[in-house]
Amino acid sequence: MLEIVRYNEEEYTFPCLLVLGCFDGLHIGHQDLLKKAKLQAKINGLDLGVMMFADGKGGKQLYTFEERVKFLEDYNVKFVLQIDFNDDFKQIKPLDFLACIEDKLNVKAYMSGKDFRFGQGKKGKSSTLKSYAEDEDNGVWYTSVKDVVHGDEKVSTTGIKSLLEAGNVTAANELLGRNYTVSGTVINGADRGGKVIGFPTMNVQYPAQKFEVKRGVYAVKCKVGDTEYDGIANYGERPTFDESAPLLEVYLKDFGGEHYGEEITVGFVSYIRDIVKFDCAEALTRQLECDLNFLSGEAEPVKELAVAEAHAPEESTNQETVEEVVCETPVDEATAEKPVEETAPQEVIEEAVVEDPVSEEGTVQPDEDFEAELNEIDDENAEITEEPQKPENCDDGECGEAIPKVSDEIDEAEVDAGEFDMSEFMAASAPVEPDESQESDVSDETSGEEDFDGNE
């Protein structure tokens, strides 16, 4: 269990390497920095510490402080420097901030992302830390780490939050390096899941401090105790029952029992569809069956179309129309088989047409004189021959050549990872001017927008 050290209040006396940053999302960019810091601390015989804000820098967070602390245990972190991002802290100057740290901690080295900003007005940056470390009187060294880029964009908490708002949890999870999760206590609900709909659910109040995903229906993986289950979840209102208060409802496959008062963790895997108001509970049940089949890739063709239409927000109106029709006219198996019986005679007629085609010129009845003339023709002078036609489907192997089968298998090349090059990140980075244009209404902290003045 790692230790929590409160900034400017508590001490940590063992020589340490302190990683500076906000670490709201602990995404793949942060993870790259922590892996390298872990290696440096081990090489130099130092304890590894990580600076983090207790409640972020305002606004809702991707992960709570407790969740982030738990993630850090995978990197052999010995302590977390917990800082409250308040008005007093926002006014501290960059060098005063370092002095406060070293007054309580036995810091021998600092590491940060290349674009880390700190202090009043974001005046502190990697060049500030580099100059500070080059002064032998300070007795510390500093290393910066390059940003991690995914595609053409730098990985950031701002970008991840934008993806979650749009319902693109699959892409957000790729940048996080894990499924985006929400943990909460199972509470009592309306008790209609199993009795009315046929899908018993666990209800969880979405944590107030957590960043919200787009409201809708999701494929999820839910951890109950030490067991993980696949399932579907609805986050938001329940318009079919005229309930507007947002709630996280989870149905799990192959799960039974009640767990009121217990904490569960819901991991969002993919977005299935928008929330829709149904005309009746039966229609909702049919759609949930479709959602569950969609989860396992076994959706029925017609209902699969309904889910696809619900998946796109701009087509949600059409999706509602489809579901209303399903509610008003439920599928009858006997009726569904009827068209097959009607088409059988047509197939026989079509086969007869193939066997005895009608001439394009039509059928002409010859007159008696014409028939008499035919009878007078000498068989020896006019021999009628008919060339047999070759049947369309031959079994003697002479009607065509076999088409060679093309293999569908493609060999994949193996990729060998090279050894880690310490020289790449050991060199101190050059000054990087902060980009004031990177502002967002949904952002709190990112690897590229970390600052102490609270401006986003």
At 306, list the tokens.
């309904």
Give residue 348's pLDDT.
39
- Cα torsion at 198, 200, 205, 210 (round to 10°)? -90
Rounded-to-integer distance, Cα 138 and Cα 46, Å = 17
To the question of domain 3-153 being in CATH 3.40.50.620, the answer is yes
**Listed residue (122, 121, 95) closest to 110, CA to CA:** 95
256 φ, ψ to 5°?
-140, 160
Which amino acid is residue 12, in one-letter code? Y
Which amino acid is residue 230, in one-letter code? D
Three-state DSSP class for 423?
Answer: helix
**Listed residue (21, 13, 74) closest to 52, CA to CA:** 21
pLDDT in tens, 68-89: 999 999 999 999 999 999 989 9
Output 215 or 437, whichever has higher pLDDT.
215
The percent of residues in the chain predicted with pLDDT above 90, rounded, is 45
pLDDT greater than 80 at residue 323: no
Rounded-to-integer distance, Cα 119 and Cα 20, Å = 12
In which band, very low, low, confident or very high, does the pLDDT at 286 lie, cut at 50, 70 and 90?
Answer: confident
Rounded-to-integer distance, Cα 116 and Cα 129, Å = 10
pLDDT in tens, 214-256: 999 999 999 998 899 999 999 998 777 667 688 899 988 888 7
In which band, very low, low, confident or very high, does the pLDDT at 350 lie, cut at 50, 70 and 90?
Answer: very low
In which band, very low, low, confident or very high, does the pLDDT at 198 lie, cut at 50, 70 and 90?
Answer: low
Q: Which CATH class is domain 179-328?
A: mainly beta
**Listed residue (253, 254, 219, 245) closest to 234, CA to CA:** 219
Question: Are 351 and 306 contacting, i.e. CB atoms less than 8 angstroms apart?
Answer: no
Rounded-to-integer distance, Cα 51 and Cα 20, Å = 5
Rounded-to-integer distance, Cα 86 and Cα 444, Å = 14
The percent of residues in the chain predicted with pLDDT above 70, rounded, is 61
Rounded-to-integer distance, Cα 349 and Cα 342, Å = 12
Rounded-to-integer distance, Cα 158 and Cα 114, Å = 17
Question: Are 338 and 293 contacting, i.e. CB atoms less than 8 angstroms apart?
Answer: no
Give residue 91's pLDDT.
94
Rounded-to-integer distance, Cα 416 and Cα 275, Å = 45
Question: Can you tell me which residue has the tokens 């998946």?
Answer: 311
Give one DSSP letter per residue of 255-321, joined into a string: --S--TT-EEEEEEEEEEE-----SSHHHHHHHHHHHHHHHHT---HHHHHHHHHHHSGGGHHHHHH
211 φ, ψ to 5°?
-70, 135
Rounded-to-integer distance, Cα 16 and Cα 109, Å = 7
Question: Are 182 and 169 contacting, i.e. CB atoms less than 8 angstroms apart?
Answer: no
Q: Where are the domains of the chain?
A: 3-153, 179-328
At 362, list the tokens.
């039509």
> How many beta carbons lie within 10 A of that of residue 91, not counting itself?
13
Give residue 425's pLDDT.
38
Question: Are 15 and 52 contacting, i.e. CB atoms less than 8 angstroms apart?
Answer: no
Give residue 382's pLDDT.
45
Give residue 311's pLDDT.
38
Rounded-to-integer distance, Cα 216 and Cα 312, Å = 11
pLDDT in tens, 120-173: 988 999 999 999 999 999 999 999 999 899 988 899 999 999 999 999 999 999
Are the folds of 3-153 and 179-328 the same?
no
pLDDT greater than 50 at residue 399: no
Give residue 267's pLDDT.
97
pLDDT greater than 50 at residue 386: no
